[in-house]
């Protein structure tokens, strides 16, 4: 009996030892398949190669390759694309569309390597994105998208966008249009566009709309629009009303059609404050026959040809009165003058002492 008891003890000890040794293996296997917190990709137009790893030392070359890799990845909770200074010509749409469960905290972020609030930042360091994608026929003529965001909870920060390369006019009722930032999903939410510059020229490189988005939660903060046709279109949403949209501390100068265009935007929760719209054709366009009412807080409307209108397509609108718009805490209006010396840090910002300079519209979030 003693022999049997001893044998059982030895066997039990060997089994326990094997189990103890097996535990670290299980832990290693579990950690190997656990989600990584963030995916980070670096893009550099000058030194990058699209077959590289996408690290700071071995960056990618194109935004479209960064989009492809992010869409293919299923192991991370958040995604970040860091873009070095340089010129990025989009010959195809950089489409960000995947099944990741992004959240307000764990987001898709596409940002410049050096941001405007960095003391070393200068305008010429902004990554410049040129949309040169093949255009697709639509009812308004032809159109193409630059960066297309088809996920919720996304940020685009610190980039500079130019107008398109195509000849704008196609026929009396049709045009060729490029959209630097586009979101099509009517049920998507939370797109932040921050500290970006949109520059166009109707005769050379027309920029039809800087930002156009369906869905909810389109927020523009500290953006600068110069000589675009339309700065932003808050478009349609599932259910017929778009909620949680905002526009804060943005500067729109010289828009040849509209400074802001609202379609199905709920006026009760739309936060429009500390913006400047100046020297534009129409400050605010709404959907044709729209009855929603809005308020503008602490903003400047100066030297615009018209204050308000109804519209159905860019350039096709009828003028209306501005009784739909309640003005609150408005600074004294006057002539808005910009810094036009491209060597200065505040290039294309409101000159100090000029009308609107006190509300800090433009790229900088701090002095």
Q: What pLDDT, on the 0 to 100 scale, is given for residue 36?
A: 57
28 within some domain: no
Cα–Cα distance measured from residue 284 to residue 261, given in angstroms and rounded to the nearest whole number = 6
Q: What pLDDT, on the 0 to 100 scale, is given for residue 75?
A: 86
Residues listed for the chain? 367
The residues with which 198 forms a beta bridge, in sequence order, are 161, 225
Q: What pLDDT, on the 0 to 100 scale, is given for residue 37?
A: 72
User: What value, to the nearest 5°, has the Cα angle with vertex 120 and ends 249 and 336?
Assistant: 35
73 within some domain: yes
Q: Please report where in the chains the tokens 């040169």 appear, as a residue.
A: 132
- pLDDT less than 70: residues of the chain: 1-36, 314-315
122 within some domain: yes
Cα–Cα distance measured from residue 282 to residue 279, given in angstroms and rounded to the nearest whole number = 9
Q: What pLDDT, on the 0 to 100 scale, is given for residue 103?
A: 96
27 within some domain: no
State the DSSP code for 100: -
14 within some domain: no
Q: What pLDDT, on the 0 to 100 scale, is given for residue 338?
A: 98
Q: Please report where in the chains the tokens 């010509």 appear, as a residue.
A: 89
Q: What pLDDT, on the 0 to 100 scale, is given for residue 173?
A: 85
CATH number of the domain at 164, please.
2.160.20
Query: Which residues make Cβ contacts (< 8 Å) with residue 28, sequence separation at least 6?
Result: none
Q: What pLDDT, on the 0 to 100 scale, is given for residue 315?
A: 62
Q: Please report where in the chains the tokens 């100046």 appear, as a residue.
A: 278
Contact 183, 236 (CB under 8 A): no
Cα–Cα distance measured from residue 88 to residue 82, given in angstroms and rounded to the nearest whole number = 13
Cα–Cα distance measured from residue 293 to residue 287, given in angstroms and rounded to the nearest whole number = 12
Cα→Cα distances 343→38, 64, 123, 137, 216, Å: 37, 31, 8, 40, 38
Residue 293 CB neighbours (<10 A): 13
Contact 35, 23 (CB under 8 A): no
Q: Residue 291: give the domain boundaries.
A: 37-359
The DSSP-derived string for 198-235 is EE-BTTTB---EEEEE-SS-EEEES-EEES-SEEEEE-
**For residue range 272-330, what is the model confidence (pLDDT) as tens digits?**
999 999 999 999 999 988 899 999 999 999 999 999 999 877 567 889 999 999 999 99
Q: What pLDDT, on the 0 to 100 scale, is given for residue 288?
A: 86
> How many domains in the chain?
1
29 within some domain: no
Contact 293, 269 (CB under 8 A): no
347 within some domain: yes
16 within some domain: no
State the DSSP code for 256: S
């Amino acid at each position: 009996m003693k022999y049997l008891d001893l044998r059982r003890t030895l066997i039990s000890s060997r089994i326990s030892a094997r189990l103890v040794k097996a535990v670290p293996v299980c832990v290693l296997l579990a950690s190997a398949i656990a989600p990584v917190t963030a995916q980070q990709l670096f893009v550099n137009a000058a030194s990058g190669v699209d077959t590289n790893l996408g690290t700071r030392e071995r960056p990618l070359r194109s935004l479209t390759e960064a989009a492809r890799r992010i869409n293919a990845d299923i192991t991370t909770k958040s995604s970040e694309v860091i873009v070095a200074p340089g010129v990025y010509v989009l010959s195809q749409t950089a489409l960000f569309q995947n099944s990741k469960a992004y959240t307000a905290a764990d987001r898709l972020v596409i940002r410049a390597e050096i941001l405007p609030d960095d003391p070393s930042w200068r305008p010429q360091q902004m990554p410049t994105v040129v949309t040169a994608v093949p255009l697709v026929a639509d009812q308004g003529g032809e159109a193409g998208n630059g960066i297309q965001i088809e996920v919720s909870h996304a940020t685009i920060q610190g980039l500079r966008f130019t107008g398109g390369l195509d000849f704008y006019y196609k026929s009396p009722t049709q045009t060729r249009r490029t959209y630097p930032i586009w979101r099509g999903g009517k049920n998507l939410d939370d797109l932040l566009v921050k500290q970006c510059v949109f520059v166009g020229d109707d005769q050379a490189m027309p920029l039809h709309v800087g930002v156009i988005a369906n869905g909810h939660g389109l927020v523009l903060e500290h953006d600068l629009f110069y000589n675009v046709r339309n700065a932003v279109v808050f478009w349609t949403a599932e259910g017929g009303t778009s909620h949680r949209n905002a526009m804060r501390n943005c500067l729109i100068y010289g828009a040849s059609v509209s400074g802001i265009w609202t379609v199905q935007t709920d006026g009760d929760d739309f936060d429009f404050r500390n913006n400047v719209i100046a020297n534009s054709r129409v400050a605010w366009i709404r959907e044709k026959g729209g009855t929603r009412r809005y308020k503008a807080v602490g903003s400047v409307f100066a030297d615009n040809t018209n204050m308000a209108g109804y519209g159905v397509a860019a350039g096709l609108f009828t003028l209306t009165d501005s009784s739909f718009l309640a003005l609150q805490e408005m600074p004294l209006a006057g002539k808005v003058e910009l810094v036009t010396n491209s060597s200065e840090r505040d290039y294309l910002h409101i000159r100090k002492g000029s009308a609107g300079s006190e509300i800090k519209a433009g790229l900088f979030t701090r002095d």
